[in-house]
Amino acid sequence: MTIGCILVSLLYLIGTVIYNYTLESQKSNISSELRNRTNLKDSLLESYEWLYSEANNKGVGEKLLKSIYESHKLSKKGTYEEFKADMNDKEIRARVTDKYLTSNVSGKWDSIWNKDFKDALLVIGFKDGESFNSYINKNMDNEDKQYYRIERLNEEIKTLNQESTTIEDKQIDYDERIESTLAILFILGIISFPIRYFYYAIIWSWRTLYQKE
């Protein structure tokens, strides 16, 4: 009986090791997917960075930001200082670029973008709306808008992180495995104690009856 209790407890312990290994393998696959999606998102965000990086390098970064803010009447959404602070975030820069700079470039060049914006683009190297439009089409615009892809990647990354957390919550740590194994051994020991004597009693009764015959 004692050996049986120990074997059952050991089987439970081995089972928890296999269970944790399976979960760890799933978590490793999720981590790989997370890296792939994060790297793709970073590469998409990077395509928006050249314009602002070049503007800063050529001393018109502030001029570019302020002209975007003024041309599109963004004062309704907050002060320029708030807008400028928000634009320190790569994803916000990408969203602003995608929303205000990547569509109807020719029309905006003629009727929306102010002189400061056009001057900033000229310093960066765009001689007119057509050259800026060509840059946009080549780097930031396609049938599936890049920023929409970034938003989808954010949702996928969020879901994968939740799945990873769920797996972590399901894993049984070392101390818990040992405590559970000892608890099972203890419970089986308590249960097996009367069963052992009941078994001995049956054997004794059977032998007694056999001897009488």
Give the model confidence (pLDDT) of 164-199 as tens digits: 999 988 887 777 777 777 776 666 666 655 555 555
What is the spatial distance between Cα 51 and Cα 196, in angstroms, rounded to a whole number?
Answer: 82
Q: Mean pLDDT across the chain, nearest whole number? A: 81
- CA dihedral (116, 122, 127, 128) in degrees, to 10, reads -20
Domain limits, the chain: 2-37+170-212, 48-139
Q: What is the mean pLDDT of residues 192-211?
A: 56
- Res 139 pLDDT > 90: no
List, for residues 13-71, the tens digit of each pLDDT value: 777 888 888 988 999 999 999 999 999 999 888 888 888 888 999 999 999 999 989 88
> Could you tell me which residue, 9 or 133, shows the higher pLDDT?
133
